Amino acid sequence: MSEGRAAGAAAGGAAATAAAGEAAAIGGPTVGAVATTGTAAAAGAAATSAFWGPDAAQRIIVALDCPPDEARLFAHQLAGRAHWLKVGMTLYYEAGPAIVREFKEQGFKVFVDLKLHDIPHQVRGAAASVVRAGADLLTVHAAGGLAMMQAAAEGARFACEDGEGTRPLVVAITVLTSMDAASLAQTGVARPLDEQALALALLARQAGLDGVVSSPQEAQALRTLLGPAAAIVTPGVRPAGSALDDQSRTATPAEALRAGASHLVIGRPITAATDPAAAFEAIAASLHAGH
């Protein structure tokens, strides 16, 4: 596995090094670099595809949005294949921090996706709490504002200094991938969706966070904006031909990675498959094949 702090190396240059230092504000398993392939370069995306390469399948995070027993079964089926699992609200609110510890003990990296959004004091405490549970990656809503995101970063840092292990990545939700221009406008945001996502990403960077969660459709612009070391986590990923479910702004796994995503969150295309392990392997193969 090539995860490490060398994210800047593949993209190269002093800017990359500077950005890597910036992303290390929270530290932890900072997104790693894998060699840029000819396929990606041919697509004209060399500058934004530092996460493309033979280890690309390790960038898949499988979202287990289901009850605990089902999640444990998925973990069993995906052991030795998937590197990352995602525990979101559906699972965490029922199983609590114990499920994070359980998956960590099985060797998975765990993304605890609770999308924190509350007053800074509450978010500081919540971030510390999920870090103590063992989260490698956690989320806050950028719409909660600068002070709230800074509080999340502080809480995560505090919990790490208190304990052992590597520091997690703290990333901000920009605009939910289930939203489109019309649903964003309904919330009172007048500017275009992509501008809103970029503005929130800048705010997240100002707060010292490690990156953002966004649609794959904004990944390339975000990669350019945030530099090569930022974590860009993209849900809304759908293999060619699979159901969109409630996602609006989607791309295939290869498209998302090529656009500059560092981590791909994929749930139902794997968990709703008749054979989840085979579905995971098919996506991994599509990444290797580059389509």
Integer Cα distance of 284 and 291 in angstroms? 11
DSSP element (H, E) containing 156: helix 146-162
Residue nearest to ligand C5P (CB): 267
**Amino acid (1-letter code) at residue 136:** D
Helix then strand then coil, % of the chain, to nearest 5: 50, 15, 35
User: Given candidates 37, 48, 49, 177, which one binds ligand C5P under the rule CB under 6 A?
Assistant: 177
Stretch that binds ligand C5P, among 51-59, 97-105, 128-136, 170-178 (CB under 6 A): 170-178
User: Given candidates 235, 253, 260, 276, which one binds ligand C5P under the rule CB under 6 A?
Assistant: 235
Residues 58-77 that bind ligand C5P (CB under 6 A): 63, 65
State the DSSP code for 163.
S
DSSP element (H, E) containing 86: strand 84-88
DSSP string, 214-235: --HHHHHHHHHHH-TTSEEEE-
**Cβ nearer to ligand C5P, comparing 8 with 235:** 235
Integer Cα distance of 215 and 16 in angstroms? 23
Please, what is the minimum distance in Å from the beta carbon of residue 194 to ligand C5P? 14
Please, what is the minimum distance in Å from the beta carbon of residue 137 to ligand C5P? 11
User: Given candidates 88, 120, 208, 228, which one binds ligand C5P under the rule CB under 6 A?
Assistant: 88
Binding mask 256-275 for ligand C5P (x = CB under 6 A): ---------xxxx-------
Please, what is the minimum distance in Å from the beta carbon of residue 242 to ligand C5P? 9
Which residues are identified as catalytic? 115
Is residue 16 within 8 Å of residue 227, measured between CB atoms? yes
Integer Cα distance of 260 and 104 in angstroms? 27
User: Given candidates 148, 213, 231, 264, which one binds ligand C5P under the rule CB under 6 A?
Assistant: 213
User: Given candidates 36, 196, 220, 247, which one binds ligand C5P under the rule CB under 6 A?
Assistant: 247
Is residue 218 within 8 Å of residue 161, measured between CB atoms? no
Q: Is 231 in the site for ligand C5P (CB under 6 A)?
A: no
* Other C-beta atoms lying within 10 Å of the C-beta of residue 21: 12
Please, what is the minimum distance in Å from the beta carbon of residue 103 to ligand C5P? 15
Site of interaction with ligand C5P (CB under 6 A): 63, 65, 86, 88, 113, 173, 176-177, 213, 235-236, 245, 247, 265-268
